[in-house]
Amino acid sequence: MAATDDRRPKYQRIADSLREAIRSGDYGPGDRLPGENDLMAAHGVARMTARQAIGVLRDEGIAEARKGAGVFVRAFRPLRRRGIQRLARDQWGSGRSIWSADIESRALEVDQVSVSEETAPAHVSAVLDLAAEDVVCVRRRRFVLDGKPVLLATSYLPLSLVAGSAITQEDTGPGGTYARLAELGYEPVHFREEIRSRMPSPDELTQLSMAPGTPVILICRTAFTDEGRPVEVNEMTLDAASYVLEYDFDADSKPAYRKPDTAPPDSCSADIHR
Protein backbone atom coordinates (compact mmCIF):
# COMPACT_ATOMS: atom_id res chain seq x y z
CA MET A 1 0.00 0.00 0.00
CA ALA A 2 2.82 2.37 0.92
CA ALA A 3 4.54 1.77 -2.40
CA THR A 4 1.34 2.66 -4.23
CA ASP A 5 0.99 5.83 -2.19
CA ASP A 6 4.60 6.80 -3.01
CA ARG A 7 3.79 6.69 -6.71
CA ARG A 8 1.08 9.31 -6.37
CA PRO A 9 1.90 12.81 -7.64
CA LYS A 10 3.57 15.03 -5.05
CA TYR A 11 0.77 17.57 -5.16
CA GLN A 12 -1.76 14.84 -4.26
CA ARG A 13 0.33 13.71 -1.29
CA ILE A 14 0.61 17.30 -0.05
CA ALA A 15 -3.14 17.79 -0.45
CA ASP A 16 -3.75 14.57 1.50
CA SER A 17 -1.56 15.74 4.37
CA LEU A 18 -3.36 19.09 4.51
CA ARG A 19 -6.75 17.36 4.39
CA GLU A 20 -5.75 15.08 7.26
CA ALA A 21 -4.53 18.09 9.27
CA ILE A 22 -7.93 19.69 8.78
CA ARG A 23 -9.78 16.52 9.81
CA SER A 24 -7.63 16.11 12.94
CA GLY A 25 -8.32 19.70 13.98
CA ASP A 26 -4.85 21.14 13.39
CA TYR A 27 -6.62 23.64 11.15
CA GLY A 28 -10.16 24.62 12.10
CA PRO A 29 -12.91 26.38 10.14
CA GLY A 30 -11.69 29.82 9.06
CA ASP A 31 -8.00 29.08 9.77
CA ARG A 32 -5.42 30.11 7.19
CA LEU A 33 -3.68 27.22 5.45
CA PRO A 34 0.00 27.20 4.47
CA GLY A 35 0.54 29.24 1.32
CA GLU A 36 2.50 28.32 -1.77
CA ASN A 37 5.80 29.58 -0.35
CA ASP A 38 5.24 27.62 2.88
CA LEU A 39 4.50 24.41 1.00
CA MET A 40 7.46 24.89 -1.32
CA ALA A 41 9.81 25.19 1.65
CA ALA A 42 8.25 22.40 3.73
CA HIS A 43 8.07 19.84 0.93
CA GLY A 44 10.85 20.91 -1.42
CA VAL A 45 8.56 21.27 -4.42
CA ALA A 46 8.09 23.77 -7.21
CA ARG A 47 5.48 26.53 -7.01
CA MET A 48 3.24 24.79 -9.55
CA THR A 49 3.16 21.64 -7.40
CA ALA A 50 2.24 23.65 -4.31
CA ARG A 51 -0.43 25.49 -6.29
CA GLN A 52 -1.90 22.18 -7.52
CA ALA A 53 -2.08 20.85 -3.96
CA ILE A 54 -4.02 23.88 -2.77
CA GLY A 55 -6.19 23.61 -5.87
CA VAL A 56 -7.25 20.08 -4.90
CA LEU A 57 -8.63 21.31 -1.57
CA ARG A 58 -10.38 24.22 -3.24
CA ASP A 59 -11.97 21.95 -5.83
CA GLU A 60 -13.22 19.65 -3.06
CA GLY A 61 -14.83 22.60 -1.29
CA ILE A 62 -12.62 22.13 1.78
CA ALA A 63 -10.72 25.39 1.31
CA GLU A 64 -11.49 28.78 -0.16
CA ALA A 65 -9.25 31.56 -1.45
CA ARG A 66 -9.64 35.13 -0.20
CA LYS A 67 -8.18 37.73 -2.47
CA GLY A 68 -5.02 39.21 -1.01
CA ALA A 69 -5.27 37.16 2.19
CA GLY A 70 -4.52 33.55 1.28
CA VAL A 71 -6.34 30.23 1.39
CA PHE A 72 -8.51 29.32 4.38
CA VAL A 73 -10.36 26.28 5.68
CA ARG A 74 -13.92 26.67 4.55
CA ALA A 75 -16.03 27.80 7.48
CA PHE A 76 -19.39 26.75 6.04
CA ARG A 77 -20.82 23.71 7.84
CA PRO A 78 -22.41 21.22 5.41
CA LEU A 79 -26.16 20.82 5.69
CA ARG A 80 -27.33 17.39 6.84
CA ARG A 81 -30.34 16.61 4.64
CA ARG A 82 -32.53 14.09 6.46
CA GLY A 83 -34.19 12.55 3.43
CA ILE A 84 -36.93 10.61 5.24
CA GLN A 85 -37.78 12.70 8.32
CA ARG A 86 -38.14 15.93 6.35
CA LEU A 87 -41.01 14.52 4.25
CA ALA A 88 -43.05 13.08 7.13
CA ARG A 89 -46.70 14.17 7.24
CA ASP A 90 -46.35 15.49 10.80
CA GLN A 91 -43.68 17.87 9.47
CA TRP A 92 -45.53 19.75 6.71
CA GLY A 93 -48.96 18.70 7.99
CA SER A 94 -48.43 20.75 11.15
CA GLY A 95 -47.49 23.85 9.19
CA ARG A 96 -43.71 23.46 9.45
CA SER A 97 -41.41 23.77 6.47
CA ILE A 98 -39.77 20.50 5.45
CA TRP A 99 -36.50 22.42 5.72
CA SER A 100 -36.93 22.79 9.48
CA ALA A 101 -35.97 19.11 9.81
CA ASP A 102 -32.53 19.92 8.37
CA ILE A 103 -31.42 23.40 9.35
CA GLU A 104 -31.83 23.42 13.16
CA SER A 105 -31.26 27.05 14.18
CA ARG A 106 -29.39 28.10 11.05
CA ALA A 107 -30.54 30.95 8.82
CA LEU A 108 -32.34 29.84 5.66
CA GLU A 109 -33.61 32.23 3.01
CA VAL A 110 -35.38 31.66 -0.29
CA ASP A 111 -33.96 34.65 -2.12
CA GLN A 112 -35.32 33.88 -5.58
CA VAL A 113 -38.88 32.67 -6.30
CA SER A 114 -40.78 32.58 -9.56
CA VAL A 115 -44.09 30.94 -10.41
CA SER A 116 -45.27 30.44 -13.98
CA GLU A 117 -47.58 28.38 -16.17
CA GLU A 118 -45.75 26.41 -18.85
CA THR A 119 -46.13 23.40 -21.11
CA ALA A 120 -44.54 20.53 -19.24
CA PRO A 121 -41.17 19.21 -20.50
CA ALA A 122 -41.54 15.78 -22.07
CA HIS A 123 -39.84 13.89 -19.24
CA VAL A 124 -42.06 15.63 -16.65
CA SER A 125 -45.22 14.93 -18.66
CA ALA A 126 -44.29 11.25 -18.71
CA VAL A 127 -43.93 11.12 -14.92
CA LEU A 128 -47.11 13.11 -14.22
CA ASP A 129 -49.15 11.14 -16.77
CA LEU A 130 -49.95 14.30 -18.73
CA ALA A 131 -50.62 14.83 -22.42
CA ALA A 132 -47.88 16.54 -24.40
CA GLU A 133 -49.79 19.85 -24.57
CA ASP A 134 -50.84 19.93 -20.89
CA VAL A 135 -49.81 22.95 -18.82
CA VAL A 136 -48.13 22.75 -15.43
CA CYS A 137 -47.52 25.18 -12.60
CA VAL A 138 -43.75 25.68 -12.36
CA ARG A 139 -42.19 26.91 -9.10
CA ARG A 140 -38.49 27.87 -9.25
CA ARG A 141 -36.58 28.74 -6.08
CA ARG A 142 -33.04 29.34 -4.87
CA PHE A 143 -32.26 28.46 -1.26
CA VAL A 144 -29.51 30.27 0.67
CA LEU A 145 -28.17 28.90 3.96
CA ASP A 146 -26.03 31.07 6.24
CA GLY A 147 -25.52 33.43 3.29
CA LYS A 148 -24.37 30.62 0.93
CA PRO A 149 -26.55 29.48 -2.03
CA VAL A 150 -26.92 25.72 -1.62
CA LEU A 151 -29.88 24.56 -3.71
CA LEU A 152 -31.81 25.30 -6.91
CA ALA A 153 -35.27 23.70 -7.06
CA THR A 154 -37.88 23.52 -9.81
CA SER A 155 -41.27 21.97 -9.01
CA TYR A 156 -43.83 20.93 -11.63
CA LEU A 157 -47.48 20.40 -10.65
CA PRO A 158 -50.47 19.74 -12.96
CA LEU A 159 -52.25 23.05 -13.41
CA SER A 160 -55.55 21.21 -13.52
CA LEU A 161 -55.02 20.31 -9.85
CA VAL A 162 -53.63 23.55 -8.42
CA ALA A 163 -55.13 26.40 -10.48
CA GLY A 164 -56.44 29.19 -8.26
CA SER A 165 -54.77 27.81 -5.11
CA ALA A 166 -51.95 29.26 -3.00
CA ILE A 167 -49.58 26.90 -4.82
CA THR A 168 -49.69 29.31 -7.77
CA GLN A 169 -48.54 32.16 -5.50
CA GLU A 170 -44.96 32.86 -4.43
CA ASP A 171 -45.86 32.27 -0.76
CA THR A 172 -47.72 28.97 -0.43
CA GLY A 173 -48.37 29.44 3.30
CA PRO A 174 -47.68 27.25 6.39
CA GLY A 175 -46.56 23.74 5.49
CA GLY A 176 -45.88 24.74 1.91
CA THR A 177 -46.96 22.97 -1.25
CA TYR A 178 -47.69 19.60 0.35
CA ALA A 179 -50.04 21.09 2.94
CA ARG A 180 -51.91 22.92 0.16
CA LEU A 181 -52.13 19.75 -1.94
CA ALA A 182 -53.67 17.98 1.05
CA GLU A 183 -56.28 20.75 1.37
CA LEU A 184 -57.13 20.30 -2.30
CA GLY A 185 -57.73 16.58 -1.78
CA TYR A 186 -54.40 15.42 -3.26
CA GLU A 187 -52.42 14.69 -0.10
CA PRO A 188 -49.00 13.20 -0.90
CA VAL A 189 -48.51 9.94 1.00
CA HIS A 190 -45.53 8.47 -0.84
CA PHE A 191 -42.36 9.98 -2.26
CA ARG A 192 -39.72 8.62 -4.61
CA GLU A 193 -36.30 10.28 -4.91
CA GLU A 194 -33.73 9.56 -7.61
CA ILE A 195 -30.19 10.75 -6.94
CA ARG A 196 -27.41 11.39 -9.44
CA SER A 197 -24.36 13.62 -9.73
CA ARG A 198 -22.51 15.47 -12.48
CA MET A 199 -20.41 18.57 -12.99
CA PRO A 200 -22.34 21.88 -12.93
CA SER A 201 -23.26 24.00 -15.91
CA PRO A 202 -21.76 27.52 -16.04
CA ASP A 203 -25.12 28.95 -14.92
CA GLU A 204 -25.33 26.58 -11.94
CA LEU A 205 -21.74 27.39 -11.01
CA THR A 206 -22.69 31.07 -10.84
CA GLN A 207 -26.09 30.67 -9.15
CA LEU A 208 -24.68 28.41 -6.42
CA SER A 209 -21.41 30.38 -6.00
CA MET A 210 -19.47 27.13 -6.28
CA ALA A 211 -15.74 26.57 -6.44
CA PRO A 212 -14.62 25.29 -9.86
CA GLY A 213 -14.34 21.52 -9.93
CA THR A 214 -17.13 20.91 -7.40
CA PRO A 215 -19.88 18.55 -8.62
CA VAL A 216 -23.59 18.99 -8.09
CA ILE A 217 -26.03 16.44 -6.70
CA LEU A 218 -29.28 15.99 -8.61
CA ILE A 219 -32.33 14.86 -6.63
CA CYS A 220 -35.55 14.29 -8.52
CA ARG A 221 -38.53 13.75 -6.21
CA THR A 222 -41.98 12.60 -7.26
CA ALA A 223 -44.91 12.89 -4.84
CA PHE A 224 -47.84 10.45 -5.06
CA THR A 225 -51.34 10.39 -3.56
CA ASP A 226 -52.76 7.33 -1.82
CA GLU A 227 -54.26 6.23 -5.14
CA GLY A 228 -50.82 6.34 -6.74
CA ARG A 229 -51.43 9.54 -8.68
CA PRO A 230 -48.24 11.59 -9.22
CA VAL A 231 -48.93 15.21 -8.21
CA GLU A 232 -45.50 16.84 -8.19
CA VAL A 233 -42.08 16.45 -9.75
CA ASN A 234 -39.37 18.44 -7.98
CA GLU A 235 -35.95 18.64 -9.66
CA MET A 236 -33.25 19.86 -7.27
CA THR A 237 -29.64 20.81 -7.91
CA LEU A 238 -27.44 20.80 -4.79
CA ASP A 239 -23.90 22.04 -4.23
CA ALA A 240 -22.23 18.73 -3.34
CA ALA A 241 -19.75 20.45 -1.00
CA SER A 242 -22.65 21.91 1.02
CA TYR A 243 -24.54 18.69 1.78
CA VAL A 244 -24.49 15.43 3.65
CA LEU A 245 -27.37 13.16 2.55
CA GLU A 246 -28.77 11.14 5.45
CA TYR A 247 -31.31 8.30 5.16
CA ASP A 248 -32.45 6.63 8.38
CA PHE A 249 -34.81 3.66 8.03
CA ASP A 250 -35.62 0.28 9.54
CA ALA A 251 -34.33 -2.98 8.08
CA ASP A 252 -37.83 -4.47 8.03
CA SER A 253 -39.43 -1.61 6.09
CA LYS A 254 -41.90 -2.75 3.43
CA PRO A 255 -41.12 -2.14 -0.26
CA ALA A 256 -42.15 1.31 -1.41
CA TYR A 257 -45.32 1.86 -3.39
CA ARG A 258 -45.04 1.35 -7.13
CA LYS A 259 -47.84 1.99 -9.56
CA PRO A 260 -49.09 -1.40 -10.83
CA ASP A 261 -47.51 -2.74 -14.04
CA THR A 262 -45.18 0.23 -14.46
CA ALA A 263 -41.51 0.87 -13.90
CA PRO A 264 -40.48 4.21 -12.37
CA PRO A 265 -40.13 6.79 -15.18
CA ASP A 266 -36.63 8.15 -15.61
CA SER A 267 -37.70 11.60 -14.47
CA CYS A 268 -34.21 13.03 -14.12
CA SER A 269 -33.08 12.05 -17.62
CA ALA A 270 -33.14 15.61 -18.94
CA ASP A 271 -30.63 16.70 -16.29
CA ILE A 272 -27.81 14.59 -17.70
CA HIS A 273 -27.11 16.94 -20.58
CA ARG A 274 -27.85 20.29 -18.93
Residue 209 — φ and ψ, nearest 5°?
50, 50
pLDDT of residue 267: 55
Q: Which has the closest alpha carbon to 18: 33, 3, 37? A: 33
Question: Coil, strand or helix: which one is 167?
Answer: helix
Is pLDDT at 76 greater than 90 in this prediction?
no
8-22, 26-40, 50-64, 151-165 — which is least confidently predicted? Answer: 50-64
d(CA 44, CA 167): 61
What is the tens place of the pLDDT at every residue in 16-47? 999 999 888 899 888 999 999 999 999 999 99
Question: Coil, strand or helix: which one is 139?
Answer: strand
Is 12 within 8 Å of 5 (Cβ atoms)? no
Is pLDDT at 187 greater than 60 in this prediction?
yes
pLDDT of residue 260: 42
Reported as type and span, the H/E element at residue 55 is helix 47-59
pLDDT of residue 97: 63
Q: Give the β-pairing of 135-145 and 108-119.
A: antiparallel
251 vs 6 pLDDT, higher one? 251
Average pLDDT over residues 179-192: 93
pLDDT of residue 105: 66
What is the tens place of the pLDDT at every residue in 119-134? 999 999 999 999 988 9
Bridge partners, residue 145, by sequence: 108, 148
pLDDT of residue 100: 61
Q: How confident is the model at residue 156 (pLDDT cuts 50, 70, 90)?
A: very high
What is the tens place of the pLDDT at every residue in 204-237? 999 998 877 789 999 999 999 999 999 999 999 9
d(CA 270, CA 125): 12
| pTM of this structure | 0.72
pLDDT of residue 213: 75
d(CA 109, CA 170): 14
d(CA 64, CA 80): 21
Is 5 within 8 Å of 13 (Cβ atoms)? yes
Q: Which has the closest alpha carbon to 142: 236, 217, 218, 231? A: 236
| Cα torsion angle, 62, 65, 71, 74, sign | negative
Q: Which has the closest alpha carbon to 155: 188, 185, 184, 132? A: 188
pLDDT of residue 11: 93
Bridge partners, residue 157, by sequence: 137
Chain-wide mean pLDDT for the chain? 84
pLDDT of residue 69: 87
